[in-house]
Structure 1
Amino acid sequence: MNTDPEKHSSGKTKVLILGGTGEMGQWFTHFFKERDYEVTVWGKGGKVEVARKLNVPFASDLEAAIPENDIVIVSVPINATEETIAEVAPKMKAGSLLMDFTSTKVKPVEAMRRFAPANVEILGTHPMFGPTIPTIRGQTVILVPVNGRSEKWFPVIRQLFEESGAHVEITTADEHDRLVSVVQGLTHFAYIAIGTTIDRLDFDIKKSRKFVSPVYSIMLDFVGRILGQNPYLYALIQMENPGVPEVHEAFIKECEELSSLVRAHDDEGFVRKMKAAARKYDDTAHALRRSDKLINSRITEYETIMNSVGKVCGFSHFYSGKVHVGTLEKVGPNEIIITKLASKGTAPHIKNKFIRLKLENLRLLSEPELREWRKENLKHAIRDISVLIPEDADPEVILGAVTTNNHLVACQISDTYNGTKGTEAENEKRGPERLGVTYRITIFGDCNADSVETEVTTLLCGLGCRVREKNLRLKE
């Protein structure tokens, strides 16, 4: 729900995202739109087609758009942030809010303070996640309010993120940059250094995965995650935070000292360093449990997939969002093979497809998710089973028993009638008056309809029902 203090005739708060055609800008365009904000985007490259795809306006006349918006967000490269703030801030209207989404905070916050008019509020912001994350729920967002310049909007933005499931941390610009110099500066530097070291060694990563350990596998995935993203972004994160060079010096010095201990075969010295670091770390037991949880979750999912060979499974692709459903034929270390089910609308001459999928791109659908996909996408068979139910039996209770069959999309009572209809001889043979009920069953399109119909009929007979007439087959 939109709770911002500024409203327009449309009833919506207006947001302008500078850099809105970039990956992070697009992510937050969706975020604000889903929460009923009116979003406009602008990008230096003039990518109007991206705005069309997002179904939002592109600010072709930026000069006119700036004072029309209640919130202006700067989501441009770090080295262009101060220049953008200097150009945009003076043109903002009184009572509006200027935010930045940069990975550093001292320089951007100072620029906002210097260039934004006194009647424009400012709020440093750093989402601690990238655009590949599907939801803000569970993610961290850092906010840097400025005394006397964040009173009206700060609680609104904080509430917006927290109600969306984010964990919000409040800090100062100085503390932010000091902590992030390690959180991002050291982490990214170490992973990139591992990647460039592997490159220098001309090491065969693909072959090494045959000798993989859980920790090595996860480490390779994180290295690959960093290397596979925008290298300019990571270069700027390293170069624009003034605290990073000191962190690099400490890291390189430690690498050199550890390497010297190894070369000298000084195991005691090596052990002392590890123990000292463990004491400073002060959380090794929890780290072990958290990493075990990560490793075990990967193992558990893989085992679940392995145990599903021969069964119908569903997989969602992380990046395209496409769902693949079919019979799982084979599982390898890095890929699976499925015979994909033909869904509704598939041309009659096209049979089920045999396809390969890379495991790292997939999420195994849960049983409810798979059932919903099958329900919505397969062409189902419909059968009517007419029975005489036992005297004083409740047709709804019998219906409940039938619906427990997992091969059914749905089951309903389509008709009820007096079971004594017929000739006098037939009624006398039938015995006491019994209610006639027609149960209409909808059978999943990937099941054998005849077999499922037989299962349901057998169940009904086991509950004391008598089949009254030949069952009807509908819409097959």
Structure 2
Amino acid sequence: MGSACAVPCVALDAAQTFDSESKRESDKEKKNANKSKAGEEATTSFASPAGERGRETEDGLCRLKIGIVGFGTFGQFLAKRFVSQGHAVLATSRSDKYLPVAEELGVEYFSNVDDFCEEHPEVVVLCTSILSTERVVQKFPFLRLKRNTLLVDVLSVKEFPKKLLLREVPEEFDILCTHPMFGPDSGKGSWEGLPMMFDKVRMDSENKKNEERCHNFLKIFEHEGCRMIPMSCEEHDRQAASTQFITHTVGRMLGDMALESTQINTKGYESLLTLIENTCNDSFELYYGLFMYNQNATETLEAMERSFDRTKKRLFDQLHEVLREQIFGEGQPAHIREQQQSAGRKLNK
């Protein structure tokens, strides 16, 4: 029996020792880097050979290779803006049904998550629903990505994904929790002035390259004019329970009343119709996720119920006073009212 030839497998900057793709990519980067040094020593920009990491976009931004996990409505919404800025975007979802949309947007699409990971995106954005995130994260093959990958979540709740990612994601990965507080409806035009919350949950502060990559990703939103808000995940959920959850709750309550536009709409009523449209266009799954995965939401819902009861009581109490006045005041015969008024004047003397 002949002796087998041992072939060493070395993984450079990859999480699996058998990830030979990483070695090939690393060798390619070194070769291109040497060519760049020899022929472009005078170049001071981030530009590099076509298709390679570090190339600047037309707007002067550092070109990133961004992977999107979950190519539903919100994933497509972000992908469209990423592509428009000149970033390389790839995406993965459970089936091929999103392939036509991906091709139209200029996004490289993978129905197989392993193939997606082998492309080694620098940034991976989780665009899954709140309810499916835990299952997706627990099954995701992080070890097929490079060890220094930046993982970004964009869920509408923040404390839950923060704890989940810290628990499930290998410690070599950087974690950035964000909440673009707008969507396909409210952000279908300009993003100017729209709030973008972010929390650098886990970042290798000693690695300047990683820090710059995180900065470059956030710059995508800054470049669009977003109002950048650094905030802890815990503080986000505390505030969101009093803003986002209330907004969605009121919108759904009014939507359940089937309100319609009229010929005498006021501006206030128009605002309510817009609120219904913006909230009810989102799935009930999203609304339930805002309730289930924000521990402050129950208290907020109960506070809304108490406030409604107090307002209702005040209305009926005042109505009862009017009825009593009619029964015991204006509703009495004139001669009896005159006798009561006369008796009152005598008592006041």
TM-score range, shorter chain: 0.5 to 0.7
Distance 1:246 1:170 in 2: 25
Distance 1:80 1:149 in 2: 28
Partner SS for 1:27: helix
Match of 2:252 in 1: 192
Distance 2:199 2:135 in 1: 20
Question: Does 1:29 find its partner at 2:96?
Answer: no
Compute the displacement of 1:170 (Å). Answer: 0.7
Matches within 5 A, 1:59-70: 59-67=110-118, 68-70=120-122
Distance 2:283 2:138 in 1: 26
Match of 1:178 in 2: 238
Is residue 19–residue 76 contact of structure 1 (8 Å, CA) maintained in 2? yes
Distance 1:35 1:168 in 2: 18
Please state which structure has a larger fraction of its residues in helix.
Answer: 2
Question: Aligned letter for 1:106?
Answer: E
Compute the displacement of 1:123 (Å). Answer: 0.2
Distance 1:45 1:3, change over 3 A: farther
Distance 2:248 2:169 in 1: 33
Is residue 90–residue 116 contact of structure 1 (8 Å, CA) maintained in 2? no
Decide which of 62, 81, 106 is 1:55's aligned counterpart.
106
Partner SS for 2:96: coil
Distance 1:43 1:135, change over 3 A: farther
Gaps of 5+ in 2: 1-44, 56-62, 322-349
Gaps of 5+ in 1: 269-476
Distance 1:13 1:224 in 2: 34
Matches within 5 A, 1:1-150: 9=52, 11=55, 12-20=63-71, 22-47=72-97, 48-67=99-118, 68-88=120-140, 89-132=142-185, 133=187, 134-149=189-204
Partner SS for 1:245: helix
Greater Rg over alpha carbons, structure:
1
Distance 1:4 1:261, change over 3 A: farther
Compute the displacement of 1:227 (Å). Answer: 2.3
Alignment RMSD: 2.7
Is residue 92–residue 120 contact of structure 1 (8 Å, CA) maintained in 2? no
Match of 1:165 in 2: 225
Distance 1:173 1:261 in 2: 38
Question: Aligned letter for 1:87?
Answer: K
Deviation per residue, 1:271-316 (Å, 9 max, x gap): xxxxxxxxxxxxxxxxxxxxxxxxxxxxxxxxxxxxxxxxxxxxxx
Matches within 5 A, 1:212-227: 212-227=265-280
Is residue 17–residue 41 contact of structure 1 (8 Å, CA) maintained in 2? yes
Question: Aligned letter for 2:222?
Answer: E
Please state which structure has a larger fraction of its residues in strand.
Answer: 1
Is residue 93–residue 111 contact of structure 2 (8 Å, CA) maintained in 1? no
Is residue 162–residue 233 contact of structure 2 (8 Å, CA) maintained in 1? yes
Question: Aligned letter for 2:196?
Answer: V
Is residue 112–residue 122 contact of structure 1 (8 Å, CA) maintained in 2? yes
Partner SS for 1:146: strand
Match of 2:6 in 1: none
Is residue 189–residue 238 contact of structure 1 (8 Å, CA) maintained in 2? no
Distance 1:258 1:142 in 2: 34
Q: Taking structure 2 as the reference length, what is the TM-score of the superposition?
A: 0.67
Distance 1:158 1:3, change over 3 A: farther
Partner SS for 1:126: strand
Deviation per residue, 1:15-50 (Å, 9 max, x gap): 110112x11111111111122211111122332222
Distance 1:3 1:127 in 2: 28
Distance 1:13 1:262 in 2: 58
Compute the displacement of 1:4 (Å). Answer: 11
Distance 1:256 1:227 in 2: 25
User: How many pairs were matched up?
Assistant: 258
Is residue 222–residue 228 contact of structure 2 (8 Å, CA) maintained in 1? yes
Is residue 261–residue 267 contact of structure 1 (8 Å, CA) maintained in 2? no
Deviation per residue, 1:232-288 (Å, 9 max, x gap): 3223223322211110000001100110111111899xxxxxxxxxxxxxxxxxxxx
Distance 2:221 2:280 in 1: 29
Distance 1:223 1:61, change over 3 A: closer
Q: Taking structure 1 as the reference length, what is the TM-score of the superposition?
A: 0.50
Distance 2:273 2:117 in 1: 44
Structure with the greater relative contact order (CA < 8 A, sep ≥ 6): 1 or 2?
2
Distance 2:239 2:199 in 1: 13
Question: Aligned letter for 2:169?
Answer: A
Distance 1:95 1:140, change over 3 A: same
Bigger mean CA offset, 45-54 vs 180-189: 45-54
Partner SS for 1:93: coil
Distance 2:230 2:168 in 1: 23
Distance 1:94 1:147 in 2: 13
Compute the displacement of 1:102 (Å). Answer: 0.4
Match of 1:232 in 2: 285
Decide which of 201, 207, 214 is 1:154's aligned counterpart.
214
Distance 1:264 1:163, change over 3 A: same
Is residue 176–residue 201 contact of structure 2 (8 Å, CA) maintained in 1? yes
Question: Aligned letter for 1:60?
Answer: S
